[in-house]
Amino acid sequence: MDLLIRNVRAVTPDHDEPIDVDIEVADGRIVRLAPGIEVAADVEVVDGDGRLAFPGVVDAHQHWGIYNPLAEDAVTESRACAQGGVTTGITYMRTGQYYLNKGGEYAEFFPEVLDTVRGRAHVDYAFHLAPMMGKHIEEIPDLVGQHGVTSFKVFMFYGSHGLHGRSADQNSFLMIPEGERYDYAHFEFVMRGIQRAREQFPDLADEISLSLHCETAEIMAAYTKLVEDAGELSGLEAYHESRPPHSEGLAISIASYLAHETGLPTINLLHLTSRKAVDAALRMAQAFPHIDFRREVTIGHLLADIHSAPDNGAKVNPPIRPREDVEALWEYVLDGTIDWVVSDHACCKDEMKFGDDRDDVFVAKSGFGGTEYLLAGLVTEGTKRGLPLRRVADLLAANPARRFGLRTKGSLAPGFDADIALVDPHASWTVRAAESESTQEYTPFEGFDMTARVTDTFLRGRHVLRDGQVVGEPRGEYLSRPTTRG
């Protein structure tokens, strides 16, 4: 025994309600959960004081290095993870502008990513990779077999729409070879490539998947022009109208039929923001019952709406929606339709986020941080709505861990990594960006009142957050998937 966490109310996979136990840890793994565990004199003991113990959060949607140097984000944004009880961050990475600002093959690009992050992160990490060109599709088996990358991504709107809402030259933005296109045909070929990899690695097949950012470039381009020409709307309301919910629904339908056509059954529909988007996802699940769809929402779309967020700092793709869509997402969370909740954390400092006119939403950058509020926010708002704590643990840890091949993560059970977040369910506090470990100087959640707070975070049995303060040197490790319990 290396560590004993006494007197906690553990949220476990085998019990509907938290159970009063001690948690015994040895060699970075959970050994047992039981009341009144005896301890030797030389073992570290932490008194949980009746707090909730959750499995460390698996935040399956982050963007380290998109706006700041990757080496910098690996440090600061992983500290924000620890602050929020997140012990595993899976970040999206691609070639092209932003991130490393390089094109080329993943055989050269991805090792540079790994070298850049190594030794800097305070939590464990993995990467989803986006095949941007034909050569990347050929590399999928090597990425799976050599680097343990089992999850991939398509950004559907990149075909003819810029990252922040303006049209852009595709090949220069994405740094793909002349003569290649990032379009529906490419998406189909990506799916066929991933399905071939599933067949090549049958033992990993259920953990090899494709995630899709579902918005339709042509709809968004047309509606952006309509909104700007009319000049009647501004801010987040204008951005919502320029990227309407049916754009999500149409893209979901296209992606789903392509999955059916290519025989790829493991599809993840990312950051659904609206009733129309989830409705389309459910219709596709009925139409193609042989496809194992997973549905994701973000904490930003569950907490903020176009009127509650303070300013254009809440610009994100897909957009923050009106309150009726927020309430619809909560209905789907509560009835089990949604599979996991993430932060979509993309730290964008104030000087980069806003244009010369801070009120012009169309020149602001897209994305914001929020991993530090993920667990506390879901417990706070979910408790008000009757969301069981076990369901919180599934949404934030168990479900994404299973999907993405993190077999040692996501559960408070013997044999799993001792990734643990202690939460005070009675702490009242107000979100202030100045108190975040992230280098982002603002937050769309500014002034949001929380009723739960992460006090301690353990990574493989070692404190990375103690009494609300990040402690120790970076200990995060790259997770080559599948991780195994031995």
In a domain, 152, yes or no: yes
In a domain, 465, yes or no: no
HSE-up of residue 454 (Cα within 13 Å, Cβ side): 34
- Judge whether residue 168 has pLDDT over 70: no
In a domain, 274, yes or no: yes
> 322: domain range?
56-409
pLDDT, mean of residues 106-129: 98
> What percent of the chain lies above the pLDDT cut of 90?
93
CATH number, domain with residue 360: 3.20.20.140
Average pLDDT value over all residues in the chain = 96
- Judge whether residue 158 has pLDDT over 90: no
Say whether the peptide bond before residue 318 is cis (omega within 30 degrees of 0).
yes
Tokens 């049209």, residue? 167
Of 388, 284, 280, the residue nearest 334 (C-alpha) = 388
In a domain, 38, yes or no: no
- Judge whether residue 292 has pLDDT over 90: yes
How high is the pLDDT of residue 9? 98
> What's the whole-model pTM score?
0.97
Tokens 């139409």, residue? 287
Measured between alpha carbons, how far apart are the two ends of the chain, in Å? 18
pLDDT, mean of residues 306-317: 95
- Number of Cβ within 10 Å of residue 439's Cβ equals 19
Helix (H) or strand (E) holding 76: helix 70-83
Cα 378 to chain centroid distance, Å, stands at 14
Residue 98 backbone dihedrals phi, psi, to 5 degrees: 75, 180
What confidence tier does 274 reach under pLDDT thresholds 50, 70, 90?
A: very high
Instruction: Return the HEC string of 166-218.
Output: CCCCHHHHHCCCCCCCCCHHHHHHHHHHHHHHHHHCHHHHHHCEEEEECCCHH
In a domain, 444, yes or no: no
pLDDT, mean of residues 174-179: 90
What confidence tier does 255 reach under pLDDT thresholds 50, 70, 90?
A: very high
In a domain, 1, yes or no: no
Domain count, the chain: 1
What confidence tier does 166 reach under pLDDT thresholds 50, 70, 90?
A: low
How high is the pLDDT of residue 355? 86
Instruction: Return the HEC string of 325-372.
Output: HHHHHHHHHHCCCCCEEECCECCCCHHHHCCCCCCCCCCCCCCECCHH
Rounded to whole angstroms, how far apart are CA atoms 135 and 62? 25
pLDDT, mean of residues 111-119: 98
Region label for 464, one of left (φ > 0), alpha (ψ between -120 and 50) or beta (otherwise): alpha
In a domain, 264, yes or no: yes
- Judge whether residue 169 has pLDDT over 90: no
pLDDT, mean of residues 436-442: 97
In a domain, 110, yes or no: yes
pLDDT digits (tens, 9 = 90+) for 76-101: 999 999 999 999 999 999 999 999 99
